[in-house]
A and B are shown apart, each in its own frame.
Chain A
Amino acid sequence: DQQVKQNSPSLSVQEGRISILNCDYTNSMFDYFLWYKKYPAEGPTFLISISSIKDKNEDGRFTVFLNKSAKHLSLHIVPSQPGDSAVYFCAARGILTGGGNKLTFGTGTQLKVEL
């Protein structure tokens, strides 16, 4: 039962354009959402997060949007740069389900930013 889904395994965009990565979830008890970026042969690194009481969080070129009614979040990268090419994982935390700091990860989206 995949509670966090990233339906696009890959995405290709041109440098300078916007990258939009999507994530859907099924568990309405998730209260915090995060995006991680992973380069080959490295561990994932934290990118940006959003609490369920907000609908937008921005950090430089990265913005995460949360639509609770649709159980959908998205990561926008503007402008996209070649160094952004990586696998992006969304993750969700469920405190009220006893999850504590346990995160449920999506399957990942491979972003390729082309020159």
Chain B
Amino acid sequence: DVKVTQSSRYLVKRTGEKVFLECVQDMDHENMFWYRQDPGLGLRLIYFSYDVKMKEKGDIPEGYSVSREKKERFSLILESASTNQTSMYLCASSLAGLVGETQYFGPGTRLLVL
């Protein structure tokens, strides 16, 4: 079974803090993704990565950065947290190539920025 784990289930941070969200997958997947889920907006892609050291902007990258130093780990960084970044953050991974369309998700991190 594919397992995607996220470092925290719940986080409370203050405006202006630097926030790190960690994601680890154990299935040697090439692709990794960060989404945020908000009511009425569904899942929106923040950043994704096709390989180590590679990153691509998703639909809403502003205010975020990512790091992928190892294949199994993909980090999302909020450089200076703001209240509008309060959300559920979901990490996912998938195999490379056209057959890798199924993405496997972690349990999510609910972030509250005060």
Contact = CB atoms under 8 A, between A and B. Distances in A.
Partners in one complex: yes
A101 to B, nearest CB: 5
A49 B102 contact: yes
Interface residues of A, number: 26
A34 B101 CA distance: 9
Given A43-B105, A44-B105, A46-B102, A108 B42 contact: yes
A91 B37 CA distance: 14
A49 B45 contact: no
B62 to A, nearest CB: 16
Contacts of A104: 45
A36 B35 CA distance: 14
A41 B107 contact: yes
B31 A101 contact: yes
B42 A46 contact: no
A89 B43 contact: yes
Given A41-B107, A41-B108, A105 B100 contact: no
Interface of B: 4, 9, 31, 33, 35, 40-45, 48, 50, 58, 90, 92, 94, 96, 98, 100-108
